[in-house]
Structure 1
Amino acid sequence: MEIIIHPTYFPNIAHFVAIVQAESVAFEVFDNFSKQTYRNRTYIYGANGKLSLNIPVVFSQKNRQKYSEVEIFNADRWQLNHWKSLESSYRTSPFFQFYEDELRHLFFEDTTYLMDFNMKCFEVICECLQMEIDYSETASFQKEILGKSDLRYLVNSKKAPVFNFDNYTQVFESKHGFIPNLSILDLLFNEGPNALNYLESQTLIAE
């Protein structure tokens, strides 16, 4: 299966199931940016349940702007806040300490453009999963895609489809139950080296 998909902030499990099982991956890099998507947000499992981590951006809805041109608003301490949220949520998980050194630097160095940062995060996660992904980038925006499975709809966080993925053990599951399709970080910190086997075994079929 050849797919086209958006680069997102620490992609959710559905994104990675599609990527891992694809024969080839093309990232959409010529689309317009819009809010309320996974381009600048991801969800983790916090002590009080599902927790959204949002990257602040310099963006105005009045003027169309390419995703690749959207800058991160680095004036506040969003990176430190995100890292503290990950530490508090996953420090008791089986594999947080195993991967934290590989991930920590992402939250302590500035990156100007959102898409560049998302691609950097993606590449680090691939290293953590010990997987090699041969991906390409689109050369222009095409509304209709021929010859590839168009999975760009997965970027929408408000109208996200529900997938029947298998449960795995989560840190706060005893309090709030299993929460599906969170950030790949949730799977990585809880399943460690078995995360790749999990992704390969799932089926991307919406309920």
Structure 2
Amino acid sequence: MQYTKRDWRNRNRIKTSQGLQWITVPVQVKGRFHQKIRETLIDGTDWAKAHWRALEFNYSAAAHFAEIADWLAPIYLEEQHTNLSLLNRRLLNAICSYLGISTRLANSWDYELADGKTERLANLCQQAAATEYVSGPSARSYVDERVFDELSIRVTWFDYDGYRDYKQLWGGFEPAVSILDLLFNVGAEAPDYLRYCRQ
């Protein structure tokens, strides 16, 4: 799959006293117009400490900060990350482990993929013996659900505005933030909130 700029693969938002703030992992993109996500390299190392300082500054008063920091801080402060896909997988594995999610995770590059965005996704699901494809709302603009229907694969759209409100720091509820906000604020109860996001 191709890396795309200004996407969620290398950035997300956190809630601060000043409003929403992007935290971005800098990546090497100059002259790499058609690089695959798995080939995307992280540019530098200072970002990790800066991210952790931002998380600590804005969430240290959250109810579950210390509990989450026990396993999250070492990822930022002790590990060295040079590849965006491997960093994202590391974070995903840690979050899934904390939440007790045992779903088997696989890499798209381990599969033979068809051409075309929808065909590629549907083919990937078919090879993985998936019965359901879950996606964020922005994919609606290019996913042709009929391709999935032909393979008897159900398409489910995640609605990020469908979150059940939870107590956040810094004013009213804001759903468009990183899962880290949810974890810092509600801890192990996070799955109870995530269930409300499917349409």
- The verdict on a shared fold, with TM-score over 0.5 as the criterion, is yes
| CA separation of 1:184 and 1:81: change in aligned 2, threshold 3 A | same
CA distance in 2, matches of 1:121, 1:52: 17
Match of 2:22 among 31, 45, 52: 52
- 1:151 deviates by 2.0
- 1:164 deviates by 2.5
Amino acid in the other structure paired with 1:149? Y
Question: Counterpart of 2:5?
Answer: 35
* Conserved? CA contact 1:95–1:190, under 8 Å: yes
CA distance in 2, matches of 1:152, 1:186: 18
Question: Counterpart of 1:71?
Answer: 41
| CA separation of 1:162 and 1:104: change in aligned 2, threshold 3 A | closer
Question: Counterpart of 1:165?
Answer: 163
RMSD: 2.3
CA distance in 2, matches of 1:100, 1:155: 32
Amino acid in the other structure paired with 1:92? A
- 1:153 deviates by 6.0
CA distance in 2, matches of 1:91, 1:186: 11
Q: Is the counterpart of residue 198 in structure 1 residue 163 in structure 2?
A: no
TM normalised by structure 1 equals 0.73
Question: Which has the higher relative contact order, 1 or 2, with Cα contacts under 8 A spaced 6 or more apart?
Answer: 1
Question: Counterpart of 1:188?
Answer: 183
Amino acid in the other structure paired with 1:171? L
Q: Deviations over 1:146-178 (max 9, x none)?
A: 35426266589xxx97522211110112xxx21
| CA separation of 1:165 and 1:190: change in aligned 2, threshold 3 A | same
Q: Deviations over 1:36-93 (max 9, x none)?
A: 1001001111111111100001112663111100100125x11111000000110000
Question: Counterpart of 1:81?
Answer: 50
* Conserved? CA contact 2:41–2:83, under 8 Å: yes
Amino acid in the other structure paired with 2:192? N
| CA separation of 1:36 and 1:153: change in aligned 2, threshold 3 A | farther
Which structure: larger Rg? 2
Q: How does 1:102-181 map to 2 (within 5 A)?
A: 102-108=71-77, 109-138=79-108, 139-142=111-114, 143=117, 144=119, 145-146=121-122, 148-149=132-133, 151=135, 163-173=161-171, 177-181=172-176
- 1:203 deviates by 3.3
Amino acid in the other structure paired with 1:73? D
CA distance in 1, matches of 2:49, 2:83: 18
| CA separation of 1:104 and 1:62: change in aligned 2, threshold 3 A | closer
SS in 2 for 1:42: strand
Q: Is the counterpart of residue 97 in structure 1 residue 66 in structure 2?
A: yes
More helix as a share of residues: 2
* Conserved? CA contact 1:39–1:155, under 8 Å: no
Unaligned runs of 5+ residues in structure 1 are 1-30
| CA separation of 1:141 and 1:51: change in aligned 2, threshold 3 A | farther
Unaligned runs of 5+ residues in structure 2 are 127-131, 141-157
For these two proteins, the number of residue pairs brought into alignment is: 167
CA distance in 1, matches of 2:136, 2:88: 15
Amino acid in the other structure paired with 2:177? L
